[in-house]
């Protein structure tokens, strides 16, 4: 018995049923499965038309999840969302006005977790740890100074 290949629309619907994703990622996955580019574009357009695929809503939801989770710096969130194919300008519009306070709290939380035992604290390692996670120098200075007290 010969198994028929699913259409790009059927496969896209199946992929979306398994995991919510943006149109850029969905397009990449369909092209990797050797679907014709025109068929892929038509499938994505149809999914958008019927509101099964909404990049802006998905981006906003993912941004809010990452932001409220409090485990990533703002730069890390931006990079993750850009890697998922979302528009950088749209992502930047989502950044709240109080992001500096949030960054401070996240950095403090990460540093407290990393150096749970104060005797293991090393200023240089703390700087390196936070810088690698995308925090800027001003926030790192403030957090490290407060942590040493």
How confident is the model at residue 149, as a pLDDT? 73
How confident is the model at residue 135, as a pLDDT? 93
- Asked if the model's pLDDT at residue 1 lies above 70, the reply is no
- Asked if the model's pLDDT at residue 47 lies above 90, the reply is yes
Give this prediction's pTM.
Answer: 0.84
Q: Using alpha carbons, select from 103, 105, 109, 93 the residue that is nearest to residue 134.
A: 103
Mean pLDDT over residues 40-59, rounded? 94
SS3 27: helix
How confident is the model at residue 122, as a pLDDT? 87
Is 22:61 a contact under the CB 8 Å cutoff?
A: no
- Asked if the model's pLDDT at residue 88 lies above 70, the reply is yes
Widest pairwise Cα distance in the chain: 73
- Asked if the model's pLDDT at residue 117 lies above 70, the reply is yes
pLDDT tier at 98, thresholds 50, 70, 90 = confident
pLDDT digits (tens, 9 = 90+) for 12-35: 999 999 999 999 999 999 999 999
How confident is the model at residue 130, as a pLDDT? 93
């Amino acid at each position: 018995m010969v198994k028929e290949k699913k259409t790009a629309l059927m496969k896209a619907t199946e992929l979306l049923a398994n995991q919510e994703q943006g149109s850029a990622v969905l397009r990449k996955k369909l092209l990797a499965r050797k679907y014709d580019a025109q068929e892929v574009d038509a499938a994505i357009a149809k999914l958008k038309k019927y509101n099964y695929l909404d990049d802006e809503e998905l981006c906003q939801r993912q941004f809010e999840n990452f932001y409220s989770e409090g485990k990533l710096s703002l730069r890390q969130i931006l990079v993750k969302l850009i890697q998922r194919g979302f528009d950088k300008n749209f992502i930047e519009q989502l950044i709240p006005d109080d992001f500096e306070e949030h960054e401070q709290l996240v950095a403090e939380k990460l540093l407290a977790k990393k150096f749970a035992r104060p005797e293991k604290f090393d200023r240089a390692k703390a700087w390196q740890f936070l810088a690698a996670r995308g925090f800027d120098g001003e926030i790192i200075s403030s957090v490290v100074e407060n942590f040493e007290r």
